[in-house]
Structure 1
Amino acid sequence: MKLLKNITLSISLLALLISCNSKSDVVTNSKDYEVYLQSTTNNDLKETQREIDFWQKKYDNAPNQKSYLGILASNYTKLFDITANIDYLIIAEKNLLEVNEAYKYSKVNNIRSLARNYISQHRFNEALELANKALAIGEGLNETHKLLFDVQMELGNYKEAESHLNSIDNKKEFDYYIRIAKWNDHIGDLETTISFMEKAKIEAEKYSNKHLKIWTNTNLGDYNGHAGKIKEAYQYYLNALAIDPNNSYALKGIAWIAFSHEKNTDEAIRIINQISKRHNSPDFYLLKAQIAEYKKDNDKKVEMLNSYFNSIDNKEYGAMYNKYNVLLFAEEPQSLSKSLSIAEEEVEHRPTPDSYDLLAWTYFKMGEKEKALEIAKQHVAGKSFEPKLNYHLAEIYKANNELDKIKPIKEELMNSLFELGPNYEEKIKSL
């Protein structure tokens, strides 16, 4: 009887421990963000639309005042950020082309604005051409160095990017802090990345700049998540929402915590469904497809992927979703030729480790494991700290029987499970 009592007590204690551990894994609380999910008023959207109406009328009444087009472009870009409607980004581009042509590409502010529009569209080489044009004019060099850093990082020209970073005059300003943070993230120093982003947050708060405060909080949410600091990440997303109750990016970050960390698929889907009503980004279908895969609901996964492809069936998206498309096409034998074609295009236009990874992974999926290994060794290995790239690298090593190289990558990948998502856990374990 005493033995049975001890066993019962041990089981009870074990159940209590399991319950405590389970509760400690839960970071989110719907009471923290429900008000933001139910928000039906978007003051930023209304204000931006009012600004567009105001400046459009002014321009219609004085079409010789081409500077109004730059203001209109800025507001259409805001509208794109708020709604994810690609048409607004294209309208902004058209306005910027017109104002630049009117001034014969002589005003650096307008040139840089068009370059940034092209960055958003993933037209990086065109952005670089414009940035160099601004550099040649010589006016406002500090801002042009910032732009060139951004473009060269996107193109994988890291030496040139570092040179422009070092050319920024003020090393204690917001714009420098966010770029040195990005540089440290590129070289794999996440702790220093977070430190600089926290300095940027202080600068944003000092000047009470709403947009920059939101931006730093959401970035700190992302970086802390990558570092495994899930509670901190969650709080930064909540901070962003306190400033902008309609911030879809922060809510998506919370949905990812619910899915990847807590495995609460129902809550993740609920959040995504709510924010999709006001910010209809194709990315959301991909997230819902990942969740369906985790739930082993293949019909729902196929439905979400079809919805994704339907949502990007607009030529205006250009190369913006090439990365996702390569990886999706590579999963199906009948679409491998599409995957290869897009991957080759990406390498040609943007020869980064990311682009070469797409090419190597496509060849791996085609069964050309030696060719995949050659590309990966030359252009990916040791050149990126992105978990998905290193997962692909490990799979390619495994296929080529270079097993000694897998163990250190595997350990890093297990530490990056939050960033990769729960669908990768079994894949990593089987490496």
Structure 2
Amino acid sequence: MWTPSPAGYYVHIPFCTAICDYCGFSVQRSKGAHIARYMEALSTEIRRYADAGRLNGHRFVCGHFGGGTPSAIDAEDLISIKRLIDSCCDVSSDAEVTIEVNPISFTSDKAETYAKGGINRISIGVQSFDDQVLRTIGRPHRAGDVEDAIEVVHQAGFDNFSLDVIYGVPGQTVDCLREDLTRAAATGASHLSCFRLEIIPFTALKLREGAGLLPSRLDESQLNEMDDVVREVLLGLGYEEYGAFNFAKHGYRSVHNRVAFVAPQCDYVGFGVSSYSFMNGHIYCNHADLLNYEKEIFAGRDPIALAHQATSMELMSRYFVLGVKFQRVPRAGFIERFGVEPEEIFGRVFDELSDLGVLKLDGDDYVVTGKGRRYINNVCKSFYVGDNRGKIQYPQFVSNLSVEQVLSYAKKASS
């Protein structure tokens, strides 16, 4: 009854040395940015939570500094935020705390500061070891920078580190992907997150595609083959698949993923611009526009743009929507949490997905099949309820494109 509930925290650092062409997040270039002002706002938001006792009853078993690129700012500034959270919240002594880094802004000095400050897991945005792939997606680093970053990780003594790999890039071959995966595993990474590239609206990559400046997109059969190659190579190299995009060495599954996504999910709180939270049955998110976020903070108000108390039906939906992404959803946890069997709520959905061959009952768990992995997002959406069905992109989305970029690619498209 009195045991604190396990929870996680996320801190958004919206600054990057350069913005990648495929990025649709709330970010801006660190050069010329008012970083000190943002860090002051971030500290103020965290203290506001602490002073109001909002996080009482929660023990934080993990933390995640993402963005943006946390390594783009001064390491001591970032560690000061971690210390503030440690002093304000009940943080477990063995909490897994991750920081996302970019190869061109990650240095040995920063790695040492992170380690001394209690960061115990590094996530490196590698994406590819092939310079042509990196150029296609507009990454600012090259393969040599990746090798340097891996060396820094090892020198600093981090045995728990993850690499991000993107595949399905226009012009990419299966052989190139195999090489990327083999080289990623050879680094000794304890965890790999492998994502299909999405070319989303309002990004530079989408403008480049519209201007005819990209190779042709891969077709569905090629993408499906790459999905299979990812699993084949990484399972063969000793990794465990534990989600639609995640592979880990034994004992190194991400605690952040377990808390925020794996059913039954726990609470998590997000600090900073555009961050999302799920706390005490409420779903809410901060302003995605940096100026609006700071304006609300310095006016003594919460920087929340959208808030909603989830209904019982929405909470049951959420259990499966998020849980499905990690491929195995336990019935027992659902029954314990909601006091009803999932078939009474989602019986029709289970039947439809079973008939399609994308979801099956394995013992007492619902498990996504190999076919279902190819359509994982649609399997998740099958469990949407109420106003969430058919809802478009959240309306406070803020593009990081500049007017100059739009005009430049429009000119290239017409030439």
TM-score by shorter chain over 0.5: no
TM-score normalised by the chain length of structure 1: 0.27
More helix by share: 1
User: Greater share of strand residues, 1 or 2?
Assistant: 2
Q: TM-score, normalised by structure 2?
A: 0.28
**Higher relative contact order structure (alpha carbons within 8 Å, sequence separation ≥ 6):** 2
Larger Rg: 1
